[in-house]
Amino acid sequence: MDIIVLKPDAKEDRITYIVKKLENWGLKANISKGTERTIIGVIGDTSVISEEDEDALKVIEGVENVLRIIKPYKIASREFKKENTEINVGGEIIGGNKIQIMAGPCAVESRESLLDVAKKVKEAGATFLRAGAFKPRTSPYSFQGLGEEGLRYLAEAREQTGLYIVTEIMDARDIDIIVKYTDIIQIGARNMQNFRLLLEVGAAKKPVLLKRGLSSTIKEWLMSAEYIMSRGNHEVMFCERGIRTFETATRNTLDLSAVPLLKQLSHLPVVVDPSHGVGKWDLVPAMAKAAVAAGADALMMEVHMNPEEALSDGEQSLRPDFFKKLIQELKPIAKAIGREM
């Protein structure tokens, strides 16, 4: 028994009673209140509950059904929640009818360059500014980011443009400072299975953008989301950013089949990052269009004022004018599938 479905008129005292019974069995309860149903997700080893105990739960006033979820991921599954999760960030909904745009440089390089690109992507139609203040790099000698100084620049950009901030956390020890400045916490591909970090952001009161690991399966990705959600933070979105395959013509292999598959398996929003997916700026537009057609709830793209001078990932960054043109080209595709931008 992994989820308890309650009737629409279930009273709070009955919910409290059920939660206490679960706790007495050494289990935890995650309560999800939907528009029509309230669902209690049971976390822990449910084998401790006998068939008799399960039958007793079924007859509690307000209980509609008691179900077992065979999949190892519970709260992230469609069985746990039938309707799509919509994440509200300052009035901008991720997972709704509008396809959101997250754009900006790979890294915060300076105050002036960040403010310049923030104004440009806002003008083009972006609603979120993405940039890293702490950068995970393959080489220890590469630019590692500006740290808290970069976070302050991001906050200033938000004040000037109204864009909401997406930035990456690399270390659980930085959680307090990241939460102070950002609107969405990004978990990078290299940290997708950093379980201590996932648990820390699971306890934070901020939406989480979970990027797919370099060589991770869909199941592993879903289980990472489960780690975050098991701590009470259900505002998680997946971000497909390409996986490592035998192909070397592009930086990664962008797995767009993951978008409709995730929507079958989970209720969480799906974001696509075509910039990291291909690693070449001139391939980004085609993949962005395909991502919209595949059902992505948001796109994350790298934009830089002078890509040739970028301190990281300049080869995959779009210039502002090209980015603006691309946004206009995406709108009829969104409209064709009944969505808007």
Determine, yes or no, domain membership for 79. no
Based on the domain organization, do 185 and 93 belong to the same domain?
yes
Q: Are residues 7 and 149 in the same domain?
A: no
Do 237 and 280 fall into the same domain?
Answer: yes
Residue-range definition of the domain harbouring residue 166: 87-336
Are residues 199 and 287 located together in one domain of the fold? yes
**Domain-embedded: residue 242:** yes
Please check whether residues 102 and 181 belong to one and the same domain: yes
C-alpha span between 254 and 131 (Å, rounded): 21
Q: Is 206 exposed, middle or buried (0-12, 13-18, 19+ CB in 10 A)?
A: middle
Q: Is position 51 within any domain?
A: yes
- What lies within 8 Å, CB to CB, of 209 at 6+ separation is 166, 184, 185, 186, 187, 237, 239, 271, 300
Q: Dump the DSSP string for 149-191.
A: HHHHHHHHHHHHH-PEEEEEE--GGGHHHHHHH-SEEEEPGGG
Give yes or no: residues 275 and 138 share one domain.
yes
Of 168, 165, 184, nearest to 122 by C-alpha is: 165
The reply to whether 74 falls in a domain is no
What dihedral angle (degrees, nearest 10) is formed by the CA atoms of 142, 143, 144, 150?
-170
- The reported pTM is 0.87
Q: Is residue 97 part of a domain?
A: yes
The tokens for 42 are 């049971």
Nearest Cα residue to 82 out of 72, 67, 98:
67
CATH number at residue 248: 3.20.20.70
Per-residue pLDDT of the chain (341 residues; tens, 9 = 90+): 588 888 888 889 999 999 999 999 998 888 877 666 788 888 887 878 888 888 888 899 999 988 877 788 888 999 888 899 999 999 999 999 999 999 999 999 999 999 999 999 999 999 999 999 986 655 665 656 788 899 999 999 999 999 999 999 999 999 999 999 999 999 999 999 999 999 999 999 899 999 999 999 999 999 999 999 988 899 999 999 999 999 999 999 999 999 999 999 999 999 999 999 999 999 999 999 999 999 999 999 999 999 999 988 899 999 999 999 999 999 999 999 999 99
For residue 113, the tally of other CB atoms under 10 A from its CB is: 20
Residues 62 and 148 in one domain: no
Task: Answer for the pair 103, 119: CB distance below 8 angstroms, yes or no.
Answer: no
Give the domain CATH number at 51.
3.30.70.1140
* Same domain, yes or no: 100 and 59: no
Q: CB-hemisphere CA count at 13 Å for 137?
A: 16
Domain co-membership, 17 together with 151:
no
Q: How many domains does the chain have?
A: 2
